[in-house]
Amino acid sequence: MPFRLGAIGHRSLLTISLVALTLSACAPRAQHVASAVEPPPSDWAFETSDVPVDPGFRFGKLDNGMRYVLRSNATPKGTGVVRLEVAAGSLDEGEDERGYAHYVEHMAFNGSTHVPEGEMVKLLERHGLAFGPDTNASTGYERTTYMLDLPRNDPELLDTALMLMRETASELSFSPGAVERERGVVQAEMRDRNTFSLRNYQDSTEFLQRGSRLSRRLPIGTAPSLAGATAAGLKAFWRREYVPAHATLVVIGEFDADAVEAAIRNHFADWRAASFEPQPSAGPFAERGGGESEIYIDPALSERVVVARLGP
């Protein structure tokens, strides 16, 4: 499954004007701290904005902190879309967990409490979904997103989709055998993506965001970390980060909103929140004054000039 990157430059001259760099230095996430911390604010971002909200959306929040968004849409007719976004990405990894967010994404397709290993894709194929075009996932710096495109809008298929999203959220198995079998897939993805453009992107990130976790948290991880990943370690990351307060479920299509809302409550209301909510951190950032430039030369890349300003 893919991991997401920002824009990639080519043969680059990078210039930064850091006039108002105000990102504060933050401690890493509380993944290695047992003490409780305050949960994040419960308001939706739009509630403090002066931008009007489209009345066609229905926003909701379960008592456990999980949020959901519903939208009626008849194009294409008789279809639906289900997305589960978890606010857990490579920035949330510890030094010994690099690549774990992406590895966990892969494990979502490799067995859970109610769906044995190898059965999830078969189950979806029986409903007319193709793995890849209709069933996929992606991992970035800040989030992991699971995607199901439903060819029909019947209640049975929607119920199956919600069941599978709940399995991903709280019921993954992480059997040692499945973790070992998937290791080669993740490592192959790392090799396939080790391109000239990716190395240019890494160099640019290290230059632009020197001293931050972003410069050291490419979602694919590192070869030593992936080689040493264990079922217990991956499950610990998943348990820590996959909590209701980090999850937003989106359902769009020709559905009855009240029925969908009831189905969401049926599948997710008993998902228990963790005793504490880890807090995100991208810092610390190294504050620099004035302009700086870097020249990146690689004969395999075309010429490109990038002017960038790093800000909050």
Q: Show which residues are catalytic.
A: 105, 182
Please provide the distance, in angstroms rounded to a whole number, between the alpha carbons at the two ends of the chain. Answer: 30
Contact residues for 198 (Cβ-Cβ < 8 A; gap 6+): 5, 8
Angstrom distance (rounded) from CA 233 to CA 97: 8
What three-state secondary structure class fits 35? coil
Name the DSSP class of 215: G
Write b or e for each residue in 222-252: b if 16 or more Cβ atoms lie within 10 A of its Cβ, otherwise e.
eeebbeebebebbbebbebbbbbbbbbbbbb
Contact residues for 51 (Cβ-Cβ < 8 A; gap 6+): none
What three-state secondary structure class fits 75? coil
Chain CA centroid to CA 216, Å = 17
Residue pair 291/15 in contact (Cβ under 8 Å)? The answer is: yes
Residue pair 134/183 in contact (Cβ under 8 Å)? The answer is: no
What three-state secondary structure class fits 306? strand
Angstrom distance (rounded) from CA 170 to CA 128: 25
Cβ count within 10 A of residue 50:
5
